[in-house]
């Protein structure tokens, strides 16, 4: 707590003038977390809530380290990530295909648009009991449910993206002799890519939400969702927090190491969106 | 190169607000390797006519023949350059854009890149082959678009106000460049513009269209030798004649002229 305050004060001190640009940027990014962390610590230490229910950051860190050393946390994390990526991959393939079809063909649009429009606003968890009845408890239903629910934003955005492909690109390509197949591959897909990437991002967020919830319902033995909900029984709030931190870390890793890399290599490099 | 016959071509747009004529009864014969400019007031149907020749729109009546063959849809005998800078593919470099038509034709990679380099040199962009369009200025992008339309060697070049969005100086340079390129390649060109001096500078023949719904109002042959001097008396006389046909009178304070070619 005191550290945080000194740090804030330091930022406004003359120190700033010779602080390197990079450090400033890092500080800029972590500042909100430092503030929230500080407030958290204050509340934890005042004892308004019992410590079991409101652990200090040190408790959370200890739980995190212990669970990591024993290999329990990595095991949970890996199971979750595998489910997440399998379901998401399904959603990406099916979602982009349907979305692009809808954008390209009137018939496909007429068939899918009403279905997708009705299905999308329904909270993903509402489908969970059905999937569990159909596919049983366990991995299969969680993966399928993740795929199903996260496909919606991917479908919508791919469809919009294809619709937003500039007519002038299509005409130019056709004038240069592109047939339908090549038009699709060389013009429609790259032209719709900014939207498709947005759809994939939203889809992944959706996949997280539903997966963590369904891991509890589907009675899978491992998984971060299971860890978090299971910890409730014994009031292990430090473990819950550790689980949440891992989810956040995986989320950041996927965003920084996958999405931003892909984006920088494609749509940003092409000037189709600004970085 | 090939001649173009446009016979009794009409087109009507179906809009929610009713039927809007695009062009009306246009008849026009263009000989092989001729450079024809089409001028006319805004909304008279110049773009519509060009899009019909390009094969993007099909006429309600009449027909178009290119090299004796009836036009049915787009084809690689025609290269098209639009007014919009956004016509280039942002996901391809200048070279990739220029090579596109050749790629569609199935020309091997080495060969098409050699030709694309060549075309980019023709429009003086050999230093920018690896640049993506968003790093090029408007004028450079239009030059890439011209190189792209020429690269797969179509017999006909269709251009819809390709330089209209450029500043006056760049525009002068581009006109000179286009005149040079045309002299070298001898394509049959249909070039739409609303800039009278541009038309006199570039064309063998200028077609004046009536206001909407457009049809051919007058044809003016420009027999001046090339390269043309935009400050010569003959040049200005043709400009005045065109302006008269467009109903602007021939006063020296004519605003169209201010946009026109003023450098030698
Ligand atoms: N897609 C369209 N749908 C309906 N009407 C159209 C469409 N495009 C053009 N028109 C109508 O057809 C007429 C001719 O349009 P066109 O674009 O060919 O004119 P233009 O001579 O190229 O004009 P400008 O010099 O402004 O480019 C206009 O009156 C316009 O209202
Ligand atoms: Mg036009």
Confirm or reject contact between B106 and chain A (CB < 8 A): no
d(CA A125, CA A210): 6
In this prediction, residue A53 has a pLDDT band, given cuts at 50, 70 and 90, of: confident
Ordered strands of the B188-192 beta sheet: B78-81, B156-160, B188-192, B35-39, B205-209, B216-221
Residue pair A122/A128 in contact by the 8 Å Cβ criterion: no
Would the CB atoms of A171 and B105 count as touching at under 8 Å?
no
Provide the pLDDT for residue A46: 87
Facing residue for B76 by CB, picked from A177, A269, A270: A177
Least confident of A127-136, A231-240, B6-15: A231-240
In this prediction, residue A17 has a pLDDT band, given cuts at 50, 70 and 90, of: low
A vs B: CB pairs below 8 A: 71
Would the CB atoms of A190 and B91 count as touching at under 8 Å?
yes
d(CA B169, CA B262): 9
Q: How close is the nearest chain B Cα to the Cα of A202, in Å?
A: 23
**Dihedral pair phi/psi, residue B189, rounded to 5°:** -120, 135
β-bridge mates for residue B70, sequence order:
B65
Would the CB atoms of B148 and A176 count as touching at under 8 Å?
yes
Chain A positions in Cβ-Cβ contact with residue B148 (cut-off 8 Å): 172, 176
d(CA B97, CA B129): 10
**Dihedral pair phi/psi, residue A221, rounded to 5°:** -75, -25
- Does ipTM surpass 0.95 in this model? no
Chain B positions in Cβ-Cβ contact with residue A171 (cut-off 8 Å): 54, 56, 74, 80, 82
Ligand 2 centroid from CA B50, angstroms: 9
Provide the pLDDT for residue B257: 40
Provide the pLDDT for residue B52: 93
Q: How close is the nearest chain A Cα to the Cα of B73, in Å?
A: 9
Residue of minimum CA distance from atom 2 in ligand 1: B13
Chain A positions in Cβ-Cβ contact with residue B100 (cut-off 8 Å): 173, 176, 178, 186
| pLDDT tens, residue by residue, A175-227 | 999 999 999 999 999 999 999 999 999 999 999 999 998 988 877 889 998 89
Supply the mean pLDDT for chain A: 88
Q: Report the pocket of ligand 1 as residue ranges, CB < 6 Å.
A: B 13, 15, 20, 22, 40, 42-48, 194, 212
Ligand 1 centroid from CA A64, angstroms: 67
Residue to mutate among B94, B103, B104, with most A CBs inside 10 A, is B104
Facing residue for B80 by CB, picked from A172, A182, A269: A172
* pLDDT tens, per residue, chain B with 264 residues: 789 999 999 999 998 988 988 899 999 999 999 999 999 988 899 999 999 999 999 999 999 999 888 988 888 889 999 988 899 999 999 999 999 999 999 999 999 999 999 999 988 899 999 999 999 998 899 999 999 998 988 999 999 999 888 888 888 888 998 998 899 889 999 999 989 999 999 999 999 998 878 889 899 999 999 889 999 999 999 999 999 998 865 444 444 444 444 443
Q: Give the position of tokens 């870390």.
A: A249
Ligand 1 centroid from CA B54, angstroms: 16
Provide the pLDDT for residue A9: 41
Chain B positions in Cβ-Cβ contact with residue A172 (cut-off 8 Å): 80, 82, 87-89, 148
Residue pair A170/A162 in contact by the 8 Å Cβ criterion: no
Residue to mutate among B53, B75, B83, B89, with most A CBs inside 10 A, is B89
Provide the pLDDT for residue A18: 58
List the shell of residues around ion ligand 2, using CB closer than 5 Å: B 47
Report the chain B residue with the minimal C-alpha distance to residue A189: B91
Would the CB atoms of B89 and A190 count as touching at under 8 Å?
yes
Residue of minimum CA distance from atom 18 in ligand 1: B45
Give me the CATH code for the A57-268 domain, please. Answer: 1.10.3720.10
Residue of minimum CA distance from atom 26 in ligand 1: B42
Ligand 2 centroid from CA B74, angstroms: 19
CA-based radius of gyration for chain B: 18
Would the CB atoms of A269 and B152 count as touching at under 8 Å?
no
Q: Which ranges constitute the DSSP H helices of chain B? A: 46-54, 94-105, 109-122, 138-151, 168-185, 196-202, 233-245, 255-258
Provide the pLDDT for residue B156: 93
Atom of ligand 1 nearest to the CA of B23: 14
- Would you say how long chain A is, in residues? 275
Mean pLDDT to the nearest integer, A100-114:
93
């Amino acid at each position: 707590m005191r550290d945080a305050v000194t740090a804030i004060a330091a930022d406004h001190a003359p120190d700033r003038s010779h602080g390197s640009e990079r450090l400033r940027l890092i500080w800029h990014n972590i500042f909100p977390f430092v503030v929230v962390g500080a407030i958290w610590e204050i509340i934890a230490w005042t004892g308004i809530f019992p410590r079991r229910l409101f652990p200090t950051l040190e408790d959370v860190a200890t739980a995190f380290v212990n669970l990591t050393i024993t290999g329990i946390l990595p095991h949970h994390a890996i199971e979750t990530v595998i489910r997440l990526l399998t379901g998401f991959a399904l959603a990406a393939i099916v979602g982009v295909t349907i979305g692009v079809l809808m954008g390209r063909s009137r018939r496909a649009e007429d068939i899918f648009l009403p279905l997708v429009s009705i299905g999308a606003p329904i909270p993903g968890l509402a489908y969970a009991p059905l999937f569990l009845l159909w596919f049983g408890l366990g991995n299969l239903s969680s993966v399928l449910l993740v795929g199903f629910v996260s496909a919606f934003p991917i479908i919508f955005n791919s469809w919009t993206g294809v619709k937003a492909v500039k007519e002038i690109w299509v005409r130019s390509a056709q004038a240069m002799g592109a047939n339908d197949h090549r038009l699709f591959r060389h013009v429609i897909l790259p032209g719709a890519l900014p939207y498709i990437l947005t759809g994939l991002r939203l889809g992944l967020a959706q996949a997280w939400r539903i997966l963590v919830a369904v891991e509890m319902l589907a009675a899978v033995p491992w998984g971060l969702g299971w860890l978090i909900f299971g910890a409730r029984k014994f009031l292990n709030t430090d473990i819950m927090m550790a689980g949440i931190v891992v989810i956040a870390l995986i989320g950041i890793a996927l965003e920084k190491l996958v999405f931003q890399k892909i984006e920088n290599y494609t749509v940003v490099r092409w000037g189709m969106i600004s970085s | 190169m090939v001649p173009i016959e446009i016979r009794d071509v009409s087109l009507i747009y179906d809009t929610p607000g009713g039927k809007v004529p695009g062009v009306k009864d246009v008849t026009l014969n263009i000989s092989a390797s001729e450079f024809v400019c089409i001028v006319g007031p805004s909304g008279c149907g110049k773009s519509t006519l060009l899009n019909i020749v390009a094969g993007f729109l099909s006429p309600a009546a009449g027909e178009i023949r290119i090299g004796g063959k009836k036009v049915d849809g787009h084809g690689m005998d025609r290269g098209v350059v639009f007014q919009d800078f956004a016509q280039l593919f942002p996901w391809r470099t200048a070279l990739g854009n220029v090579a596109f038509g050749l790629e569609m034709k199935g020309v091997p990679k080495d060969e098409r890149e050699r030709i694309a380099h060549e075309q980019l040199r023709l429009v003086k962009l050999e230093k920018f082959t690896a640049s993506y369009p968003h790093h090029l200025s408007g004028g450079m992008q239009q030059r890439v678009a011209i190189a792209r339309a020429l690269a797969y060697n179509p017999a006909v070049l269709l251009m819809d106000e390709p330089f209209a969005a450029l500043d006056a100086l760049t525009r002068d340079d581009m006109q000179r460049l286009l005149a040079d390129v045309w002299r070298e390649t001898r394509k049959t060109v249909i070039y739409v513009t609303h800039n009278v001096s541009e038309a006199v500078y570039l064309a063998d023949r200028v077609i004046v269209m009536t206001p909407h719904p457009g049809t051919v109002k007058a044809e003016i042959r420009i027999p001046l030798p090339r390269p043309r001097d935009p400050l010569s008396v003959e040049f200005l006389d043709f400009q005045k004649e065109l302006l008269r046909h467009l109903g602007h009178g021939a006063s020296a304070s004519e605003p169209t002229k201010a946009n026109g070619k003023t450098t030698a």
